[in-house]
Copies of this chain bind each other. A is one copy, B any other.
Amino acid sequence: MHEQDGISPPEILSSNSAASIKAKRKKQPSIKELVAGISSGNITDLSRAITLVESKNKTHTKKATDIISACLPHSNKSVRIGITGVPGVGKSTFIEAFGSYLTSIGKKVAVLAVDPSSTLSKGSILGDKTRMEDLVKDENAFIRPSPSGDSLGGVARKTRETIVLCEAAGFDTIIIETVGVGQSETAVHSMVDFFLLLKLAGAGDELQGIKRGIIEMADAIVINKADGHNLKAAKSAKVEFNRALHLYPEKDSGWIPKVSLCSALKQEGINDVWTLIQNYLKTTKANHFFDKNRNQQNKFWLLQTIEERLKSDFYSSTKVKSELQHQITRIESGKTTPFAAAEYLLSL
């Protein structure tokens, strides 16, 4: 636990109940108080800070930025694991089993999600915490559903800032779940150290219908539900995947992706997945890919954030808003080209 800058006597902040009494007395804790709370592992303060990150209110956003900056020196000391897989593959059961295994060996586990559809559909991942009955009660685990947001970019940014907060709160293993839809894997891949693809065997799912890009991103393919009468199919799927993985060029990480079997339901093979990740960390820390990759990810997010802001500032300007449709109409009637119209809008 980190020092508390002497803001308040440590004993007052040392338990959740004391913090909640404090919360009733004073509804809006200061930035310093929240940072101190987070640094001491206070879950209420962590949740409050995440709520500020997720807020659309500009004052909250400013506050969130300051909290994250203060938390930065305490973050970065974790492993960040991305987990993807199509609906039905057993992601919740796997994360429940995997997370519980990790806390049993002394880890502190935060589970986050990137699900840009969560505002639209009821079926948002992690939305229903009860799907992870044991983990949600585990005091060394912290589960937070996907932030809601209108764009993948927004959801991804918020999740990435939440990682910093969780790490500052002492969580050393960050699991980020995403669903195998659209571009969300790419976003998650760009914020984790290790990317795990969860698959099923015996569902006609081995090689057909796999998005090439996702296989390329995976550091491990874990075949879930490898139990009972599924076991034989899972074993042959493992052979198939190993063959498929060999068709891809070598990774910058120097790591050769592995295929592993597990049964999340029967809690079999879960420790193998962790051993595999440990080996990955050993390899990529030795060859410095681990740090290089985090730096590259940071640069990616810097450029990404700049470009999104440039666009949103441009399109939300009053002049552009009132002229854009007119220019589109002019283009449609052959009075101007897209390029000339762009020049005009940029000159406003």
Interface residues of A (CB under 8 A from B): 65, 68-69, 72-73, 75-76, 157, 160-161, 164, 212, 295, 298-302, 304-307, 309-311, 314, 327-328, 331-332, 334-343, 345-346
Contacts and interface: CB of A to CB of B under 8 A. Distances in A.
Nearest to A311: B307
A49 B326 CA distance: 28
B72 A337 contact: yes
A331 B212 contact: no
A328 B342 contact: no
A82 B160 CA distance: 40
A328 B164 CA distance: 18
A161 B337 CA distance: 9
Contact of A309 (B73, B295, B302, B342): B342
Contacts of A68: 337, 339-340
Contacts of A346: 306, 309-310
B157 A332 contact: no
The 7 closest A-B pairs by CB, nearest first: A305-B342, A301-B338, A302-B338, A310-B310, A298-B331, A306-B342, A298-B338
Contacts of A299: 328, 331, 338
A310 B347 CA distance: 11
Nearest to A324: B302
A72 B336 contact: yes
Contacts of A310: 307, 310-311, 314, 346
Nearest to A301: B338
A161 B339 contact: yes
Contact of A337 (B164, B340, B345): B164
Contacts of A73: 334
Contact of A338 (B305, B332, B341): B305
Contact of A340 (B65, B306, B335, B343): B65
Contacts of A76: 334
Contacts of A301: 338-339
Contacts of A164: 337
6 contacts: A65-B337, A295-B332, A298-B338, A305-B339, A307-B310, A307-B311
A314 B306 CA distance: 9
A337 B69 contact: yes
A210 to B, nearest CB: 10
Contacts of A336: 69, 72
Contacts of A160: 338-339
A304 B299 CA distance: 23
A205 B28 CA distance: 64
A339 B164 CA distance: 12
A346 B302 CA distance: 11
A13 to B, nearest CB: 24
A53 to B, nearest CB: 10
A331 to B, nearest CB: 5
Contacts of A300: 338
